[in-house]
Amino acid sequence: MSRLSSLLGSFAFAAAALTGCGSSDLVLPSDGAPAELLITGGENQSGAAGSPLPDSLEVSVSDERGDPVAGHTVTFELDSEVTGARVTPDTATTRADGTARALWVVGVTRGTQSVVARVARGTEPLEVRFSATVGAAKAEKIAVASGNEQSARVGSRLANPLVVMVTDGFGNPVGGIPVTWNAESGSVDPVSVVTGEDGLAQTFWTLGASAGAQTVTASSSDLSGSPVTFTATALSGSPSTLIRVSGDDQSAAAGAELPNPLVVRLVDEAGNGVPNRAVTWVVATGGGTVSSPTSITDENGQASTRWTLGGPGGNTLNAVSSGIGVVGFTATATSGGGGGGGGAAPARLEFRVQPSDTEEDETMSPSVQVAVTDQSGDVVTDRELDIKLELLDDRDKVRGEVTKTTSSGVATFTIEISKEGKYRLRASADGLPSVESNEFEVED
């Protein structure tokens, strides 16, 4: 009887155990091999560069019957090497419900990144792939992208826009960041703009009216590098006016150089100096000479020459900018002192304006001038002498006024040469030694 009771008790216990195992709340580990690996969490997330994703990566391992496989190893591996990316842990063991989890810190590069979860199964492991979309981290820096150091005429729009780029701490472009532009001179359009997905913001700059360096700044609050400075060179416009700067209304002894140079300035409509333009200096009356018959305007638009006066009295000179205008200068030549003319005897001839290179059959400019001087080199202003001009090798090639009477000691010749070549002139007068000029060239 006691043996029967014992058997009945064993059957009752077994039945109770079987009844309990049928409950939906109880998961029993499987003794089967892994047959299926599924993603059960953490797929298709988005995160900022260099940051952990909000949800863990989760997989489940099951056998052929679909039952969970516990205690099996799952590896998590980055699909490609991306700076800053990591998975923790990189190896996990499935729990009783067949799941394993890992935390994914995405790399510092924008775009799509992926992780592969793998479970060993004979010669062909089971694999699944997680993907995540990585965006830029917090904006940290603003810098010039393009458009710096351009040049254009004053008042004109630069050919290329000014462009800045906003990036995070890893160099990824950041969109949606406001940028404000400010022009020190001229104007910008637009004044305020938001960066695009490429992190870029741009504006167009119309230069101000003053020639020289101009600047524009791009600002975005709290960003390293703000404000960013762009520079441009505003070039002067077309020349419009020739202005007398200094040197007018001076005086010196006849035949002497004035103490101060003659200075003019060539400007555009906005008053900016125009460089690299020729100014011609032409003696009008008095028979004087200039040190530079033609001079080139400097970076400020200025040109200058030195003026040696002719005979006593009023002397005049014109500064000429072709197609722009003429500026006149006056000076007074006094007699006596170093000026000659006080009864001194003529001693020699002297080229005061040497012949210049010219073209065949063209009037030579400036006109050649020959002065009569005494033993001290002063111009003899109180005598009238006839001076003759000729070529050293062929007199017939000179046309024009080849014989002139001095006025206040100076003879001015208007001549042209009829054939190309290199020549010298000879000046002669009765009772005085002849004198030769510098060599000059006549072109066809």
Mean pLDDT of 241-253: 95
Query: Is a pLDDT exceeding 50 seen at residue 307?
Result: yes
Residue 13, C-beta contacts closer than 8 angstroms, at least 6 positions apart: none
Q: Could you report how far apart the first and last alpha carbons of the chain are, in Å?
A: 149
Domains along the sequence of the chain with CATH = 36-135 (2.60.40.10), 139-235 (2.60.40.10), 241-334 (2.60.40.10), 348-443 (2.60.40.10)
Distance CA 297, CA 414 (A): 28
Query: Is a pLDDT exceeding 90 seen at residue 5?
Result: no
pLDDT at 395: 64
Query: Is a pLDDT exceeding 50 seen at residue 348?
Result: yes
pLDDT at 312: 86
Per the CB < 8 A criterion, the answer to whether 55 and 83 are in contact is: no
pLDDT at 334: 85
Highest mean pLDDT among 324-328, 338-342, 408-412: 324-328
Q: Tell me, what DSSP letter sits at residue 21?
A: H
Distance CA 247, CA 121 (A): 102
Query: Is a pLDDT exceeding 70 seen at residue 12?
Result: no
Residue 392 binned pLDDT confidence (cut-offs 50, 70, 90):
confident
Query: Is a pLDDT exceeding 60 seen at residue 113?
Result: yes
Distance CA 418, CA 388 (A): 18
pLDDT at 377: 80
Mean pLDDT of 64-82: 95
Residue 19 binned pLDDT confidence (cut-offs 50, 70, 90):
very low
311/389: higher pLDDT: 389
Distance CA 179, CA 214 (A): 20
Whole-number Cα distances in Å, 383 to 252, 408, 431: 20, 8, 13
If DSSP codes are grouped into helix, strand and coil, which group holds residue 45?
strand
Residue 389 binned pLDDT confidence (cut-offs 50, 70, 90):
very high
Highest mean pLDDT among 159-173, 245-259, 383-397: 159-173
pLDDT at 341: 47
pLDDT at 344: 74
Query: Is a pLDDT exceeding 80 seen at residue 245?
Result: yes
Mean pLDDT of 360-375: 90
Mean pLDDT of 334-362: 77
Q: Give yes or no for a cis peptide into 68 (omega within 30° of 0).
A: no
Per the CB < 8 A criterion, the answer to whether 159 and 182 are in contact is: no
- Among the residue ranges 88-92, 147-151, 402-406, the one predicted with the least confidence is 402-406
- Among the residue ranges 8-12, 286-290, 427-431, the one predicted with the least confidence is 8-12
Percent of the chain with pLDDT over 70: 91
Residue 99 binned pLDDT confidence (cut-offs 50, 70, 90):
very high
60/13: higher pLDDT: 60
Amino acid at 213: A
DSSP 259-313: SS-EEEEEE-TTS-B--S-EEEEEEEES--EES-SEEE--TTSEEEE-EE--SSE
Q: Please provide the average confidence, as pLDDT, over all residues in the chain.
A: 90
pLDDT at 343: 57
Beta strands in 16-160 (DSSP E): 36-41, 45-48, 57-62, 73-78, 86-88, 91-93, 99-105, 111-119, 126-135, 139-146, 150-153
Please count the CA atoms within 13 angstroms of the CA of 18 that sit on its side-chain side. 6
Mean pLDDT of 300-306: 96
Q: Is 262 exposed, middle or buried (0-12, 13-18, 19+ CB in 10 A)?
A: buried
Mean pLDDT of 233-243: 95
pLDDT at 397: 84
Distance CA 362, CA 442 (A): 9
